[in-house]
Amino acid sequence: MSQYKINEVFESIQGEGSFTGVPSIFIRLQGCPVGCPWCDTKHTWTIDPMLERSRDVVMAEQAESEHWFTHSVEQLLALFAAQGYQAKHVVISGGEPCMYDLVPLTSHLITLGYSVQIETSGTYEILTHVDTWVTVSPKVNMPGGKPVLASAMQRANEIKHPVAMEKHIEELDQVLKLLPATNKPLIYLQPISQQKRATELAIKVCIQRNWRLSLQTHKFIGIE
């Protein structure tokens, strides 16, 4: 029976990429060795057995925490029901969700009528149901030293790239070379931390390349 280490589960509105504005259930998995300096979920990086807690303890926490709990697919669905969640779109993120085999979880959700999206750095093989929407946010030259995989880029339905300066556009251009000419995922640029310079750069390049702008809408309106 598949078990997943979970940092948090909550219901909100998707604020980024193609599903911006869609009511969603977020499952944030624990563990990530990529080491992005600007990461806003660094509390999900480490899987420390000493920080495992019960589901009820983790779900009751009101602030970001390194605590995590373990659940099976069946237990997660029971949690959805217990919380009274209404959204029919599920976003699996992290951490790095592709450290896990997501086939059992995504297959079960899709069978039950949910649409499913995963958000990954592209540094792990993607094991998920064929109908999962895959958002790759390629993490290039990060401190963890893990390369972006061609197989991950080729599985992407959308590519969402954080940018702050020109070198980030150059890095994206390099990993886009991993795509065959027939692959045409949606490409979004997302300004890091809503910085003015980053936003201006993203807008300029989106217009030049006919790409799309992704703003972290949830941060502008003050929700998780």
Annotated binding site for Mg(2+): 41
Report the alpha-carbon distance of residue 106 to residue 126 in Å, rounded: 12
Report the alpha-carbon distance of residue 136 to residue 85 in Å, rounded: 26
Joined together, the tokens standing for residue 86 give 């209404």
Note whether 42 and 111 are within 8 A (CB). no
The strand order across the sheet containing 69-72 reads 69-72, 3-13, 23-29, 89-93, 115-120, 133-136, 158-163, 186-191, 212-213
- Residues at the binding site for [4Fe-4S] cluster are 32, 36, 39
Task: Count each helix (H run) and each strand (E run) in the chain, helices first.
Answer: 7, 9
Q: Which amino acid is at 27?
A: I
- Residues at the binding site for S-adenosyl-L-methionine are 38-40, 95, 137-139
- Residues at the binding site for substrate are 13-15, 28, 93
- Residues at the binding site are 13-15, 28, 32, 36, 38-41, 93, 95, 137-139
